[in-house]
Structure 1
Amino acid sequence: MRKTQAFLFSLLLLLLNFCGQPARQPDEVRLRLAIDPGSLSPIGYTSLEALQIINLLYHSLLTVDLEDNELKPGLASAFPEVERKDSLTFFHYQLRPEAEWPDGSPVTAQDVAFTLKVLKSPYVRNENIRSQLEFIQDIKLNSADPSRFTLVCRGYTPEMQLLTGDFFILPSYLLDPQQVYNTIPLQAWSTADSTQYNTDRTRAVATRCNSLGSPENKALLQGSAGYEVAEWAPGQHIVLKRKENWWGKNTGNVVSHLTAHPAQINFQIIPDNTTALLALKNSQLDVLDNIPVNEFEQLRQDENFLKNYDLHTPQGYDLIYAAINSRAPKFRDKRTRQAIAHLLDVPAMIRVSQQSYATPTVGPIPPDRKDLYHPQLQPRPYDPTQATTLLKAAGWIQEQNGWYRNINGQREDLRIELLYRAGNTAYEQMALIFQQHAGKAGIPVTLLPLEGNVYSQRIDQRDYDMHFRGISGNPFVFNFKPLFHTSFSGPGGLNSTGFGTPESDRLLDQINEAESEADKARSLHRLQEIMQEEAAFLPLYFRKERIAIHNRFTNTKVSGVRPYYDLSSFMLKP
């Protein structure tokens, strides 16, 4: 009886969730978001769910075409011309002549300059993106052509071409109507003393930029891409509407990767997997990704379902990892963390939670990148005997009910509170396996599934012992500095584990500055060795994506690169 009641309750929630929305269009695409993105700021987003939506609102200079996973010009009319002089590299860009903002004004080099100043401004909250653009020192505008500009960069690496074009361009007319930032040189934000620009006018621009992306300020969410926000009900849905006179339609067939085909894209916020699957089976969703393995296997055997939906399993670049809070006194000794790592039975976790849809890894590098993946390093095996040896070496004393040691004159019991996102079946299964193995080794583990925002807050505040999480990468850039450099280990920084040594910090800089693939590979190999030795950030596996897409659509561009499909390219079959 309880199962029936739960089913009816989920169905009721689902029906209520679809009420009070814009009428469904014939060529509308509906899909699920597992969490509310919180903010859609193109300069301060913190979730992949937000990034998926932002990609439909804003353009960058360069983009990735999921049709072939190739880098192609976006707002730029072509790839930049590269000129190297001594220690500097100059990237000469030209913008597409068709590119316009929603008010009909052209996208210009001044908008690019404004965006870079915002991203480098110490008064704008964008620390994670700012670090990726440290190498850009200045921008030179062309007085004769407002569509031309040159980025002046420190040093050279092969990845710089992508990085110089991999940030969303902002409309300066909307965010800086008084053109305050026009008078501030980009180099000024890179100097130690930029206080002379801390004025009421610059703070007003920074305040406007910091508020960008909230539901209350959705009027500011106007980019150069083909969609705009039509409706945003936090916790329920976000509806995007195609712009009527979008400039991308004027670029011709040569630029087929810049698209805005569906009239409407409706993101349904459905945290619960069971509810999301029910919506899919009832044809209330056109797209569902991250389908749990068991349910995906059931869908593969459902002939009625397969009449309406196609299933896809692209090899993705999503890394699933375990994190240990190395700041906590009981985890500061790396031998303790190594012992815990030996209790992570990764093959069993893959077998139970992913079946054949995952590949174990020794580091944050995808194993298929054989040039960068460590060739000799082996995954740490599940070994409770070795875990016991390491715990004793770290000073832990085993009692009948567990382990303890004296830290700073006080008794500390070795207990672990394991956090993971509620509703994620894979994490739940992995957590149970770890809890069982750790318990056999005398370490009590408390499982604590948390709702998305609460979970993120606990991580950002470093209020945790251990957690499971996933991060999304790509096959183009391996800038791990925000994840692993000690300068990003403060509250809110991406380095939530506190990982980092002087050598690893140097390696992270060397990786970003390497001028050859061989130099980059050597630094990445050594970084993977240090990560395994420190055992704070524990890479587990890269997973394949599991996607269902309604077969009334074509041109879906399914790919292993997030978001795994191009919603803007979806077209109804004739």
Structure 2
Amino acid sequence: MRKTQAFLLSLLLLLNFCGQPARQPDEVRLRLAIDPGNITPINYNSQEALQIINLLYQSLLTVDLEDNTLKPGLASAFPEVERKDSLTFFHYQLRPEAEWSDGSPVTAQDVAFTLKVLKAPFIRNESIRSQVEFIQDIQLDASDPKKFTLVCQGFTPEMQLLTGDFFILPAYLLDPQGSLSAIPFTALSQADSTQYNTAHTRAVAARCNKLGSPDSKDILQGSAGYRLAEWATGQHVVLKRKDNWWGKNTGHAASYLNANPEQINFQIIPDNTTALLALKNAQLDVLDNIPVNEFEQLQQDGNFLKNYELHTPQGYDLIYAAINTRKARFRDKRTRQAIAHLMDVNGMIRVSQQSYATPTVGPIPPDRKDFYHPQLQPRPYSPEQAVTLLKAAGWIQEQNGWYRNLNGQREDLRIELLYRAGNTMYEQMALVFQQHAAKAGIPVSLQPLEGNVYNQKIEQLDYDMHFRGISGNPFVFNFKPLFHTSFAGPGGFNTTGFGTPESDQLLNQINETESETDKARQLHRLQEIIQEEAAFVPLYFRKEKIAIHSRFTNTRVSGVRPYYDLSSFMLKP
């Protein structure tokens, strides 16, 4: 039966690779778990789409995965910052070499056009619009078409990153008549801008809303080193390197503004087993997010290791448990602390990640030693301490569990644990927690849910406890949406209801503090409060598990998504 199954997988794989563009010697082939669906730089909603967009478009600033540092991208340097009263001015200069696919220069007008597109209420930009709300205006320099100033309300140290963290669009392709250039930037920030919803602006909106679909290849062109060559929905997306791309003429910056492989071929393979078979058959050059057991097997496969290198960079994806403080039985923090003592983090790592994870005391990555709390220790797994805390919170133990009287009514301590269906990691973690909670007399029912239902229940705050992961990075530490009480309503990111007056004040200070010493002190205290409140329970940061064909060098493997720089790959001599 196993041989038959392997044969069928091989046949399916062979059929999947038929009808593809001829494989180029200087080509990188890798797997996408899902079809990107829409690769618009205006309103993308998946990591798969973002990975492709990064090869087509550029932002003012970029991340160099060689050393995980911010570098100027389309901008020739980091902006000069000027503060006046309640406003902050970020003065930018674009690279003189930067140009679009048709050879025309990237100018400040393109930046202004992009911001108007991201602000316009008649364009589908919901996922990006909030990220640029703090930008109040853009001022163009009459003497230099590549110079401009962003006018921002207030100031936080992270604004420098945020002012450069959106993809710049070519106005000549999306607005050839210059319809948006006549609209004041500030008008689009106002609640009522319907007067600008004209036939001309609707035409621009139609192009922008079409951008990123499989039939938008003629306008899906940015300033980066690649262009979309082919997109077969559900099968593959192929990018081709531009001829004479301008990035190679930028001097030192050319070391990270790359476009090395002639072709990049994204294979859409939803099934993990099929993806691993393609890797072993050398039909893929790169595979990430490899399941733990399969990764361990690859490490022992001598024939595989002759052609591939395996990498395990420390990632910035945090896995955590959330307890709903709005439920009456979880309002006392001693109850939540007791539940946290029943989470055997090391045991969860063993069964779901083996050694490919790092326990954490908070949402700060442990490799950020300046901000990670040096004295705080992870809460130990201890049923004894859990029992002591439950009794202190007023729970009474009986043969079948725990109960207490609340407002004259009996309240039983039970937990419904939600997690995403089909995710083996969460399923294994849930079983570990269920077993340990049972030893302490707390019944836990497991509720795996499909993605949309799972997200909906959490957004509606209809849950007891859930496991989840969030993607982070080593640059930004704005935790206000996760923990501030102003984000604790329905639909807000603070789904646990976490928050105290002190933590709210700290979150505001962290965003405003310029001193690294003060920020470290504030983040240390925030981590203490998070552990004490035990509503948001940080568990561990995952290590990534990646295989890359050894014929490539300069791969720049990193813990920052997408974990490697495809544009930098070079064939070994």
TM-score range, shorter chain: 0.7 to 0.9
Matched residues, percent identical?
A: 79
- 1:256 paired residue number: 255
8 Å contact 2:157–2:511 — kept in the other structure?
no
Alpha carbons of structure 1 residues 286 and 376: separation in structure 2 relative to 1, 3 Å: same
The match for 1:199 is: 197
**Which residue of structure 1 lines up, in the alignment, with residue 358 of structure 2?**
359
- Report 1:431-450 matches (<5 A): 431-449=430-448
Change (3 A) 1:22 1:127: same
Between the aligned partners of 2:100 and 2:54, the Cα distance in structure 1 is: 15
Contact 1:419 1:464 in 2 (8 A): no
Structure 1 unaligned blocks of 5 or more: none
Mapping 1:206-245, distance limit 5 Å: 209=208, 212-215=211-214, 217=216, 220-245=219-244
Mean Cα deviation higher: 497-506 or 138-147: 497-506
C-alpha spacing 1:7/1:497, structure 2 compared with 1 (3 Å)? farther
Q: State the Cα distance separating 1:44 from its structure 2 match.
A: 3.0
Partner of 2:31: 32
- Residue 372 (1) aligns with residue 371 (2): yes
Q: Equivalences for 1:205-354 in 2 at 5 Å?
A: 205=204, 209=208, 212-215=211-214, 217=216, 220-251=219-250, 254-327=253-326, 331=330, 333-354=332-353
Kindly indicate whether residue 514 of structure 2 is the aligned counterpart of residue 515 of structure 1. Answer: yes
User: For the residues of structure 1 that align with 2:37 and 2:321, how far apart are their CA atoms?
Assistant: 24
**Per the alignment, do residues 252 and 374 of structure 1 end up closer, same or farther by CA in structure 2, a change over 3 Å counting?**
closer
Matching of residues 153-172 of structure 1 within 5 Å:
153-172=152-171
Q: Is the 8 A contact 1:138 1:152 kept in 2?
A: yes
Q: 2: distance between equivalents of 1:176 and 1:442? A: 65
Distance 1:335 1:208 in 2: 55
Query: Using the alignment, how far apart are the partners of 1:14 and 1:391 within structure 2?
Result: 54
Q: Distance in 1 between matches of 2:379 and 2:226?
A: 46
| Amino acid aligned to 1:58 | Y
1:383–1:251 CA distance, 2 compared to 1 (3 A): same
Q: Distance in 2 between matches of 1:46 and 1:187?
A: 27
Question: Aligned runs of 1:76-225 on 2, under 5 Å?
Answer: 76-121=75-120, 126=125, 129-190=128-189, 193-195=191-193, 199-200=197-198, 205=204, 209=208, 212-215=211-214, 217=216, 220-225=219-224
| Structure 1 position 109, deviation (Å) | 0.7
- Rounded Cα–Cα distance in structure 2 between residues aligned with 1:61 and 1:370: 28
Q: 1:418, 1:445 within 8 Å by CA — same for their partners in 2?
A: no
How far residue 392 of structure 1 moved from its aligned partner, in angstroms, is: 5.3
AA paired with 1:146? P
SS of residue in 1 equivalent to 2:530: helix
Shift of 1:487: 4.8
**Match runs of 1:493-532 below 5 Å:** 494-532=493-531
Shift of 1:269: 3.1
Q: Which residue of 1 aligns with 2:468?
A: 469
Q: 1:156, 1:514 within 8 Å by CA — same for their partners in 2?
A: no
Please give the per-residue CA displacement for 1:200-224, whole angstroms capped at 9, x wherever unaligned. Answer: 4656655654554444656553222
CA apart distance, 1:60:
0.6
The whole-number CA distance in structure 2 between the counterparts of 1:256 and 1:385 is 56
Amino acid at match of 1:316: G
Q: Are the equivalent residues in 1 in contact too, given 2:220–2:228 (CA < 8 A)?
A: yes
CA drift at 1:497: 3.9
- Matched ranges for 1:393-432 at <5 A: 400-403=399-402, 414-420=414-420, 422=422, 424-432=423-431
Structure 2 distance, partners of 1:134, 1:343, is 42
The CA distance in 1 between the partners of 2:206 and 2:400, in whole Å, is 54
Q: Give the structure 1 partner of residue 483 of structure 2.
A: 484
Read off the aligned partner of 2:511 and give its amino acid letter.
N
Q: Deviations over 1:395-445 (max 9, x none)?
A: 6665655456788979777231321352x4433332221222223334444
> How many corresponding residue pairs?
571
Matches of 1:233 and 1:323, distance apart in 2: 39
Greater CA drift, 182-191 or 87-96: 182-191
* TM-score of the pair, normalised by structure 1: 0.87
Greater Cα shift, 172-181 or 147-156: 172-181
Letter in 1 for 2:28: V
1:225 CA drift (Å)? 1.2
Aligned-partner Cα distance in 1 for 2:361–2:4:
44
User: Quick one: which amino acid aligns to residue 419 of structure 1?
Assistant: Y
Shift of 1:328: 5.3
Deviation at 1:382, TM superposition (A): 1.6
Q: Is the 8 A contact 2:324 2:461 kept in 1?
A: yes
- Cα displacement (A) at 1:132: 4.4
- Do the aligned residues in 2 keep the contact of 1:128 with 1:494 (CA within 8 Å)? no
1:328-371 CA-to-partner distances (Å, cap 9, x unmatched) read 56555544433332221111122333333322111111122222
Mapped contact 1:29–1:265 kept (Cα < 8 A): yes
* Structure 1 residues 288-319: Cα deviation after superposition (integer angstroms, max 9, x where no partner): 12223333232222211111011222222222
Q: Which amino acid aligns with 2:113?
A: F
* 2:569 alignment counterpart: 570
Counterpart CA distance in 1 for 2:401 and 2:124 is 44
Moved more, 206-215 or 434-443: 206-215
In 2, are the aligned partners of 1:292 and 1:426 still within 8 Å (CA)?
A: no
Query: Counterparts of 2:506 and 2:17 in 1: how far apart (Å)?
Result: 50
Deviation at 1:142, TM superposition (A): 0.7
Give the CA deviation at 1:391.
Answer: 4.5
Q: Structure 1 pair 472/138, CA: closer, same or farther in 2 (3 Å)?
A: same
Amino acid paired to 2:64: D
Match of 1:54 in 2: 53
What letter matches 1:350 in structure 2?
A: I
Distance 1:474-1:386 versus aligned 2 partners, 3 A rule: same
Per-residue CA deviations over 1:513-554 (Å, capped at 9, x if unaligned) read 212112322332232233223333221112222221001111
SS at match of 1:168: coil
Give the C-alpha shift of residue 168 in structure 1.
Answer: 1.4
Distance 1:225 1:314, change over 3 A: same
Inter-partner Cα distance in structure 2 for 1:488 and 1:406: 31
Question: Secondary structure at 1:258's aligned position in 2?
Answer: coil
Q: Secondary structure at the match of 1:59?
A: coil
Question: For 1:135-178, what per-residue CA distance to the aligned partner results, in whole angstroms no more than 9, with x for missing partners?
Answer: 43322101122111012234444433333212211223334444
Report if aligned partners of 1:155, 1:513 keep a CA contact under 8 Å in 2.
no
CA apart distance, 1:503: 4.3
